[in-house]
Amino acid sequence: VDALAHPEDSEFESALRPKRLDDFHGQPRVRDQLGLVLEAARFRGTSPDHVLLSGPPGLGKTTLAMIMAVELDSNLRISSGPAITHAGDLAAILTGLDAGDVLFLDEIHRLARPAEELLYLAMEDFRVDVVVGKGPGATAIPIELPPFTLVGATTRAGLLPGPLRDRFGFTAQLDFYAAADLGGIVRTSARKLGVDIRSDAADEIAGRSRGTPRIANRLLRRVRDYAQVGGHPVVAVAEARQALELYEVDELGLDRLDRSVLTALCKLFAGGPVGLSTLALSVGEEVETISEVAEPFLIREGLMMRTARGRVATPAGWRHLGMEPPAGSTP
Region of 53 please: left (phi>0), alpha (psi -120 to 50) or beta.
Answer: beta
Residues numbered 184-223 forming contacts with ligand ADP, rule: CB under 6 A: 185, 213-214, 217
Backbone φ, ψ for residue 11 (5° rounding): -65, -45
Residue 164 one-letter amino acid: L
Q: Degrees (nearest 5) of the Cα angle 58, 14, 169?
A: 55
Question: Is 62 annotated to bind ligand?
Answer: yes
Cis peptide before 142 (omega within 30 of 0): no
Closer of 47 and 154 to ligand ADP (Cβ): 154
Fill in the per-residue mask, 241 to 280: x = in contact with ligand ADP (CB under 6 A), - = not in contact.
Answer: ----------------------------------------
Question: Is 29 annotated to bind ligand?
Answer: no
Residues numbered 136-165 forming contacts with ligand ADP, rule: CB under 6 A: 153
Catalytic residues, which ones? Answer: 61-62, 106, 155, 214
Question: Is 311 annotated to bind ligand?
Answer: yes
For position 59 contacting ligand ADP by CB under 6 A, the verdict is: yes
Residues in Cβ contact with 103 at an 8 Å cutoff, skipping those fewer than 6 apart:
76, 77, 79, 93, 94, 97, 148, 149, 150, 151
**Of the ranges 59-67, 131-139, 219-227, 302-310, which one interacts with ligand ADP (CB under 6 A)?**
59-67
What is the chain's Cα-based Rg? 23
Question: Is 126 annotated to bind ligand?
Answer: yes
Q: CB nearest ligand ADP: which residue?
A: 60
Residues in Cβ contact with 102 at an 8 Å cutoff, skipping those fewer than 6 apart:
65, 68, 69, 72, 74, 75, 76, 77, 148, 149, 151
Count residues binding ligand ADP (CB under 6 A).
Answer: 19
Q: Which of 48, 60, 271, 272 binds ligand ADP (CB under 6 A)?
A: 60
Q: Which residues bind ligand ADP (CB under 6 A)?
A: 13, 16-18, 24-26, 57-63, 153, 185, 213-214, 217
